[in-house]
Amino acid sequence: MKRLNSQLQADGCPLELILLIRTLLAACKEISFRVSQGALAGVLGSTLSENVQGETQKKLDVISNRIILDTLRESGYVKAISSEEEEKVVGCNPEGKYLVSFDPLDGSSNTEINSLIGTIFSISHAPQWMDADDPAAFLQPGSQQVAAGYVLYGPSTMLAMTTGRGTHLYTLDKTHGGFLVTQANIQVPQDTAEFAINSSNQRHWQEPMQRYVADLLAGTEGPRGKDYNMRWVAAMVGDIHRVLCRGGIFAYPFDKRNPKTPGKLRLLYEANPMAFLMEQAGGLASTGNGRIMEIMPQEIHQRVPVILGSKNEVEACLEYYK
């Protein structure tokens, strides 16, 4: 099996980006170990504080955020960091060439039930004329990403990553500590009979999503003419991994409860990296009104609606928005 370095070199990655990715993955391997220890290490449960999103922090949220922050700061390759758990941009090396955005532990509430969780990351070039702690450096569309991916902490620790030359899946070989390519250039099936959405929010969706899901649930008797299955992991990394591997559509649509935050998922470190992965695997990623990776961010914690997955199914969903 091909090793991580070999695949990145084959994809034409510059040396500094390869070294940065390896550094980031070293932090993820440490998180993987902490997660695997669970209650034995006393890392489960919540803290007494909230993050900038107003969400109660889990102990593993704080631990994972600190591991990645400290590792990237020491690397020298990173100019600045934005994290779900940090209110402001964290300046690092003023001479660093890259910006890194991440969700240190997506789906952290799943730690209590030993279910899927993961780390999502996005890497882009750092504007050299800006200060290291200037949040404006991060206000780039997702099309400017040079690498993105997630590490899934499941029965095995897996990495899904793209550097713009296809989406590859890697598995952590714990016998030697390296990530090995287990599926190169994965392609998402264009058609599907699976959808992932939090149906408990149905009453808050816009009318197009209401009609689309109603037609899916109508099955063979409805206008879509086939039966659909719903799957929901309650961790974006878990649902997106399933879609990458066997097709499907994932949606966290516009929610009218709070017009100021119409989506739940954050653009910089959730929607953009997942959209990059999906498009490089032949899928589509939209807000319902346009391509996710064309959005010009207004601030680092901006939220957006998300619809992504199998090409033909996403296109069918978007027809309801026309």
CATH class, domain 194-319, is alpha beta
126/132 Cα distance (integer angstroms): 9
DSSP state of 177: T
**Domain 4-183 fold:** Fructose-1,6-Bisphosphatase; Chain A, domain 1 (3.30.540)
Bind-site residues:
84, 103, 105-109, 198, 264, 270
pLDDT digits (tens, 9 = 90+) for 125-151: 999 999 999 999 999 999 999 999 999
236: nearest Cα among 59, 41, 102: 102
pTM of the model: 0.95
CA distances, 267 to each of 36, 37, 101, 158, 238 (Å): 29, 31, 10, 23, 18
pLDDT digits (tens, 9 = 90+) for 163-176: 999 999 999 998 98
For residues 291 and 284, what is the distance between their CA atoms, to the nearest angstrom? Answer: 8
Residue 298's pLDDT is 96
For tokens 């990553």, the residue is 161
Helix residue ranges, H only, the chain: 4-10, 15-37, 59-75, 207-217, 236-246, 272-280, 311-319
pLDDT value at residue 91 = 96
Residue found under tokens 């030697």: 176
pLDDT tens per residue, range 151-203: 999 999 999 999 999 999 999 998 989 999 999 999 999 999 999 999 999 99
Phi, psi of 46 (to 5 degrees): -100, 160
The per-residue pLDDT for 314 is 98
Query: Nearest CA to 75 among 99, 109, 105?
Result: 99
Binding residue ranges for substrate:
106-109, 198, 264
pLDDT in tens, 243-270: 999 999 999 999 888 877 778 999 999 9
Q: What is the mean pLDDT of the chain?
A: 94
Question: Tell me, what's the pLDDT at 139?
Answer: 97
Residues belonging to the binding site for Mg(2+) are 84, 103, 105-106, 270
Give the pLDDT band (50/70/90) at residue 39: confident
Q: How far apart are CA 303 and CA 21, in angstroms?
A: 26
Residue 55: band (very low, low, confident or very high) from pLDDT cuts 50, 70, 90: low
Domain boundaries, the chain: 4-183, 194-319
